[in-house]
Amino acid sequence: MKDRKGSSGRHCPRGLHILYEDEDILVVDKSSGLLTMGTPVKKEQTAYARLMNYVRKGNAKSRKRIFIVHRLDRDVSGVLIFAKSYQAKLSLQEHWHDADKKYLAIVHGNLTEKAGTITSYLAENASHHVFSVSDKEKGKLSHTVYQVLKETKTSSLLEITLLTGRKNQIRVHLADIGHPVMGDHKYGIRNKTGGRLALHAFSIAFDHPYSGKRVSFEAPVPEYFKLLLGRQKQNHGQ
């Protein structure tokens, strides 16, 4: 089984960094602001479209293609997995509940409990806004595990482990406990910061669809996170 780690000299699609590639999977580090796949309004500028062109080497008639395994929100950066065959996609999605997914988030304020699990039933309205409900008949059970890694006087860096993978789950759960993700204008504090959403899919581990071996990948912590934490310290010290 041939494999490539990193971009290995091949053209690297804009907004994406190739972390790993073999005959079955393609693992990338997606930048914030890039859609995973198209919508009725925006179809071309997506990770899926750019990587499809990448595997086809610009040849639209090529039979090579990729398959979406999971998604990251447009404003979330980090590790994103694609399958390179339909069989690999089915295998990955069948066992996706066994994947270990970890995120990093910078949130407003300091948490009283430095580690814990946030649990609620998540529902979505017609405006695509996700929210917690108490009625289990109206939402899907969701669990988010967090641990505080670092604190300033005005913010905290959290490591998040997803036990379930609902839409906008991390953002909603952290807003529910009064510590929204910085830069989250949908569920958090509007216009508080002008920067990107401070949420990053840091690592993922799963069983390889061909070998069955456990494999893991990490996306480097964005420089913006380091700058944001440093800025919070500096502003408080003035």
Q: Are residues 81 and 141 in the same domain?
A: no
pLDDT 10s digits, 117-157: 999 999 999 988 999 998 999 999 999 999 999 999 899 99
Active site residue 100: no
Query: Is the separation of the CB atoms in 121 and 140 below 8 Å?
Result: yes
pLDDT of residue 189: 78
Q: Is there a domain that residue 28 lies in?
A: yes
pLDDT of residue 202: 97
Q: In which domain, by residue range, is 31 found?
A: 1-94
Domain edge (last residue) among 70, 94, 118: 94
Q: Is there a domain that residue 164 lies in?
A: yes
Q: Is there a domain that residue 210 lies in?
A: no
pLDDT of residue 45: 83
pLDDT of residue 6: 58
Q: Are residues 237 and 130 in the same domain?
A: yes
pTM assigned to the model: 0.88
The enclosing H or E element of 207 equals strand 199-207
pLDDT of residue 12: 75
Q: Domain holding 129: CATH number?
A: 3.30.2350.10
Specify the number of domains making up the chain: 2
With a cut of 70, list the residues of the chain below it in pLDDT: 1-11, 40-44, 58-61, 190-194, 231-238
Q: Is there a domain that residue 216 lies in?
A: no
Q: Which of 3, 24, 73, 207 is catalytic?
A: 73
pLDDT of residue 229: 85
The residue type found at 188 is G
- Kindly tell me the burial class for residue 71, based on how many C-beta atoms sit within 10 Å of its own C-beta (0-12, 13-18, 19 or more): middle
